[in-house]
Amino acid sequence: MAIISASRRTDIPAFHSKWFMDKIVRGAVMVKNPFGAGTREVSLRRADVDGIVFWSRDYRPMLDDLSRLKKLGYPFYCHFTIIGYPKWLDPGSPSISVGAATAR
């Protein structure tokens, strides 16, 4: 059994939710070691996953997929960061009001 930290290296909910759900359906994902020690397969079968942790500033693209994960019986936790930086500094992040509305 494993806890999957699903978006520590990249923002899966904001940019790669369809890719992630494809891997859920396939039951596995190949993960490259960032320190150069090769690639390994990580099981995403429900029986092998204790939980999934997502990290994102924008969950809007993944809301339907989160509902699907719940129906499939996957426990998950969403670490949601609301930044509030001005658009000139961080043009890709949602505003505070959009982030708060999404969190509800």
Span between the terminal Cα atoms of the chain, in Å? 30
Taking alpha carbons only, the member of 103, 7, 4 closest to residue 59 is: 103
- For the chain, 104 residues long, give each residue's pLDDT as a single digit of tens: 799 998 878 999 999 999 999 999 999 999 988 888 899 999 999 999 999 999 998 999 999 999 999 999 999 999 988 888 888 998 888 888 888 888 77
Taking alpha carbons only, the member of 13, 16, 101 closest to residue 57 is: 13
Q: Model pTM? A: 0.85
Residue-level pLDDT at 21: 97
CA separation (Å) from 41 to 44, 78, 80, 81?
9, 23, 27, 29
Spell out the domain ranges in the chain: 2-103
C-alpha 49/C-alpha 59 separation (Å) is 21
| 54 and 3 Cβ atoms separated by less than 8 Å | no
